Amino acid sequence: MRELKGMTVVITGASSGIGAALARALHASGAHVVLAARRLERLQALARELPGSRVIETDVTDPAACSALLAAVPEADTVICNAGYGLARTICDTTAAEWLDLLKTNLLGTTACIVAAVPQLRQRPVRDGWRGQIVIVSSALARRGRPAGGAYSATKAAQLSVAEALRVELAEDAIAVTSVHPIATDTEFTSIAVGWKNGAREPRQSAELVARRIIAAIVRPRPEVWPHRLSRWGLSLATLWPSLLDRYFRRRLKAEHSARPLLPRQGVP
Ligand SMILES: NC(=O)c1ccc[n+]([C@@H]2O[C@H](COP(=O)([O-])OP(=O)(O)OC[C@H]3O[C@@H](n4cnc5c(N)ncnc54)[C@H](OP(=O)(O)O)[C@@H]3O)[C@@H](O)[C@H]2O)c1
């Protein structure tokens, strides 16, 4: 079991939602938290709540800023790559610029922090069996592309691939790698992701629940965290029988966007 008290945890995307919930819960457990995001005033307000925490203004789309973030915290033993945002667009409506922005934040922002963190983590002493841990906040959509959200899902699937490869690459270094797969979570995510609508009957969870599950996986490192456990089984079943979810998503798309079809018709009934 890794001791949270005295651990130094860097959290990207700490200015709201899951990142802020994680910072509060980790701080309450005695960890030193380093808060990173773009909105400085939000981070400073959170830091006033959490005495001893540090704020580092960071835009993860800038690899130099990710390097500077990690260089400022050589004592970090856990790095949580959580910064990200969504986009509600069909694949055919997603512009090249939108793809690039999403990839730069969700995927390359994650890998830039990892590349900066790993050499430092390798220098850390082994404590409670581990030198350190990298946590990547992906999504349940990593396992199933969401219609009118396919580009976002692709970035989340890419994060899962990174975690799967990295976990084995760093095993000999005693550095744990964990990917996190939340379902719809009550944060600012949906208001920032233009046009994003969760299904009326879709299960939801709180940012605090996601934070608790992530912290359990920091204490006892494991490969994946699915805060809503049923979704893991449902999505595993859907990989065996993909047409099941196709039917569900088609019905949902029709209901949500009956006024304006989102998918090109091309003679498809
Ligand atoms: N909410 C959901 O339904 C849900 C479900 C599955 C997965 N997730 C994932 O959970 C993670 C956290 O999202 P959330 O739900 O907590 O949403 P949120 O409340 O909107 O928080 C997103 C965080 O990411 C930060 N961020 C965005 N772009 C950034 C950039 N270029 N550089 C640095 N920080 C950046 C934001 O801070 P600034 O704007 O201040 O930079 C903010 O702190 C995301 O990776 C998201 O994909 C969310």
pLDDT in tens, 52-105: 999 999 999 999 999 999 999 999 999 999 999 999 999 999 999 999 999 999
Decide whether any atom of ligand 1 lies within 6 Å of the 84 Cβ: yes
**Domain covering 8-236, topology:** Rossmann fold (3.40.50)
Strands (E), the chain: 8-12, 32-37, 54-57, 78-81, 132-137, 175-180, 185-186, 205-206, 224-225
φ/ψ region of 67 (left if φ > 0, alpha if ψ in -120 to 50, else beta) reads alpha
Instruction: State the catalytic residues.
Output: 152
pLDDT recorded at residue 268: 38
- CB-CB contact of 77 with 45 (8 Å): no
129 CA distance to ligand 1 middle (Å): 31
* Residue corresponding to tokens 């959200």: 149
Least Cα distance to 18 among 120, 169, 138 occurs for: 138
Mark residue 81 as left, alpha or beta (left: phi above 0; alpha: psi -120 to 50; beta: remaining).
beta
**Nearest to 86, CA basis, from 193, 232, 207:** 193
pLDDT of residue 138: 98
Minimal-distance CA residue to ligand 1 atom 35: 83
Contact yes or no for 88/194 (Cβ under 8 A): yes
How many whole angstroms from 95 Cα to the centroid of ligand 1? 21
CA of residue 220 relative to chain centroid, distance: 19
CB-ligand 1 contact for 210 (6 Å cutoff): no
Contacts of 249 (CB under 8 A, 6+ apart): 146, 147
With a 6 A CB cut-off, is 83 part of the ligand 1 pocket? yes
What pLDDT, on a 0 to 100 scale, did the predictor assign at position 262?
52
Read off the tokens for 53: 């925490």
pTM of the model: 0.94
In this structure, what DSSP letter does residue 125 have?
P
Residue-level pLDDT at 258: 60
CB 82 within 8 A of CB 33: no
**Main-chain phi, psi angles of 186, to 5 degrees:** -75, 95
Which regions of the chain are under pLDDT 70?
A: 194, 200, 257-269
Mutate to test the pocket of ligand 1, among 43, 69, 82 (most ligand atoms within 8 A of CB): 82
Residue nearest to atom 7 of ligand 1 (CA): 139
Cα angle 48, 207, 245 (rounded to 5 degrees) comes to: 155
83 alpha carbon – ligand 1 mean position (Å): 4
